[in-house]
Amino acid sequence: MKHVPTISTIFLSCLALTLYVGYRTLTPMIDEDNIPIQTSNIIKSMPDFTLNDIDGNPISISRWKDKHLIINFWATWCAPCLREIPLLKDHQSQGGPTQVIGIAVDRLEPVKAFIEEMDFNYPILIGQTDAIEVAKTFGINIFALPLTFFITKDGLIVDSHVGELLPLDLELGLKKLDL
């Protein structure tokens, strides 16, 4: 009789472990670095905004009104942001009809140092709370970095992505721009 509770305990433990492993195997894993944002709140037209460049000059986004845009919100302290920068630089260096615009949600000093170190080939606008306010004008409720928008030359937002932008994500965004 002493062995009955032990056998029951072992059996129930094995059953629980089997159920857990089965559940984890059959449940799709979520890549927490690439959770798509809900686009139901994203406005359809790009808002007009102005932020400073690293020299303190105010720059209006309308400067690039006749180009397809990839607007990327990032920060120097954000690891996924830093990992996607080479992809964006590579895309920008290929030329073509799109313009990458980086918006640093950060302090000026670390951004300046980082830009010099990384030799950016696309414009960087900067603002701490100002940049967050700009992101909110796109219709997002929860701000997370990195955050990327794909915008047609007519100012229509056709795609958005939160999390590290991978080559496939870039390709899908460009397809939505009809490129």
Series of mean pLDDT values for 10-residue runs along the chain (179 residues): 65 59 42 44 81 96 95 97 97 94 96 93 94 88 89 94 95 90
How confident is the model at residue 1, as a pLDDT?
Answer: 52
- What pLDDT is attached to residue 2? 56
Instruction: Give 39's DSSP letter.
Output: T
Q: Provide the pLDDT for residue 147.
A: 95
pLDDT of residue 140: 80
Q: pLDDT value at position 96?
A: 86
pLDDT at 13: 66
**The pLDDT of residue 79:** 96
- E strand or H helix that includes residue 73: strand 68-74
Instruction: Residue 157: name the closest of 38, 47, 49, 62 by CA.
Output: 47
Find out whether the peptide bond into 146 is cis, omega within 30 degrees of 0: yes
pLDDT score at 178: 85
Judged by DSSP in three states, 63 sits in helix
pLDDT of res. 166: 97
What is the DSSP track for 77-118?
A: T-HHHHHHHHHHHHHHHT-SSEEEEEEE-S-HHHHHHHHHHH
- The fold adopted by the segment(s) 35-176 is Glutaredoxin (3.40.30)
DSSP 8-state assignment for residue 14: H
pLDDT at 122: 97
Phi-psi region of 56 (alpha: psi -120 to 50; beta: other; left: phi over 0): left
* Residue ranges of domains in the chain: 35-176
Q: What is the pLDDT of residue 143?
A: 81
